[in-house]
């Protein structure tokens, strides 16, 4: 079983202290429609950054950036849809139900334990999912289009309450379909079930960016899974290495690139990462497929409720700790180091 092969790098149970167990995921994100990564209505441009093209190619190019926030927020929301369906989101201290981007995390649900929270009640949990900005392989100038659109009404639609179409115009910059972002995601001290939850969220999320528009379709593929004691090379190093490998192979680096070609070159680049500092285990392609089949099975209609409830109950003892600590007084709290 490929999940067992990573067992040394899984926590056996949730615990509050980091122990340097790291699972690294290499994710290829491909836009399947026009996509807009910016806060709607702000008019801010799509995020891009000047960086070195390759590790050996020193020329400077401007790449599109998919920020951490644009990755994690929709993925969290996806998982939370299912937690909500199973009544596994808890009331927060102010009485409302656990919600994102407010001051009301419940501090008890799977999402709070994994993705973290910092809020109201004085508690804090660091996220155990470390993402980084993901970069496009190709230069931004090849990947951006401009479109003039009817401005959206406050209702989020293009029609007013009398069903009249909006006549106000906006120019909107969008990322073209078939644009590829390469991404490294690091999971710190997670259990096998927590890994299944996170990988499920990544694979099940299909919409990113400005959510009220009919755009933003994206597919995520996991190309590599690693176990070790340190983070993998960064997303930027990965995209630079893939750029170099493409150039070396003589293949043209121009939009649109075939997804399979990028997947193949990326797999070739990460094939020797086993020798990088801190990486001990790399799953083979067959093992990655096996692990993803395992994740799919856990998220299937038949097993999802059981899986999510089991994951939820794994925090049960931990949820009680603060109460107990209070009851027993300060001196007892020796082995429950504060913080997360
Ligand atoms: Zn919560």
Residue 290 CA to residue 274 CA, distance in Å, equals 19
Whole-Å CA distances, 106 to 118, 241, 261, 324, 325: 11, 42, 44, 18, 19
User: Which residues hold their Cβ within 5 A of ligand 1, which is an ion?
Assistant: 98, 105-106, 109, 112
Over the stretch 250-286, which tens digit does the pLDDT of each residue have?
A: 988 999 999 999 999 999 999 989 888 888 899 999 9
Ligand 1 centre from 58 Cα, in Å?
45
Ligand 1 centroid – CA 212 distance (Å): 24
Mean pLDDT of the chain: 87
pTM: predicted TM-score of the whole model, two decimal places? 0.86
- 104-124 per-position pLDDT tens digit: 889 899 999 999 987 555 567
Q: Each residue of 1-32: pLDDT tens digit? A: 789 999 999 999 998 889 999 999 999 999 99
What is the 116 CA–ligand 1 centroid distance (Å)?
A: 9
Cα of 71 from ligand 1 centre, angstroms:
19
């Amino acid at each position: 079983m490929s999940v067992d092969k990573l067992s040394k790098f899984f926590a056996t149970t949730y615990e509050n202290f980091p122990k340097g167990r790291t699972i690294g995921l290499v994710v290829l994100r491909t836009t399947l429609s026009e996509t807009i990564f910016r806060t709607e209505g702000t008019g801010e441009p799509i995020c891009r950054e000047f960086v070195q093209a390759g590790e050996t190619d020193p020329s400077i190019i401007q790449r599109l950036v998919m920020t951490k926030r644009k990755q994690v927020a929709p993925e969290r929301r996806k998982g939370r849809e299912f937690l909500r369906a199973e009544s596994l989101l808890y009331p927060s201290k102010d009485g409302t139900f656990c919600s994102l981007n407010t001051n009301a995390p419940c501090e008890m649900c799977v999402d709070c334990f994994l993705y973290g929270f910092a809020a109201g009640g004085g508690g804090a949990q660091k996220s155990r999912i470390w993402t980084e900005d993901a970069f496009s392989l190709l230069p931004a100038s090849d990947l951006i289009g401009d479109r003039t659109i009817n401005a959206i009404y406050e209702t989020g639609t293009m029609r007013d309450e009398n069903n009249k179409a909006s006549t106000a115009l906006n120019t909107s910059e969008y990322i073209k379909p078939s644009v590829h972002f390469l991404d490294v995601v690091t999971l710190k001290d997670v259990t096998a079930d927590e890994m299944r939850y996170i990988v499920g969220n990544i694979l099940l999320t299909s919409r990113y960016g400005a959510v009220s528009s009919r755009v933003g379709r994206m597919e995520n593929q996991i190309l590599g899974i690693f176990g070790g004691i340190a983070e993998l090379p960064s997303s930027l190093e990965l995209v630079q290495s893939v750029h170099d490998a493409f150039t070396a192979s003589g293949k043209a680096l121009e939009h649109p690139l075939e997804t399979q070609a990028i997947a193949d070159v990326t797999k070739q680049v990460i094939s020797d990462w086993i020798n990088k500092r801190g990486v001990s285990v790399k799953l083979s392609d067959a093992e990655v497929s096996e692990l993803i089949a395992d994740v799919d099975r856990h998220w299937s209609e038949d097993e999802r409720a059981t899986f999510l409830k089991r994951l939820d109950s794994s925090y049960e003892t931990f949820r009680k700790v603060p109460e107990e600590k209070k009851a027993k007084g300060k001196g007892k709290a020796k082995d429950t180091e504060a913080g997360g």
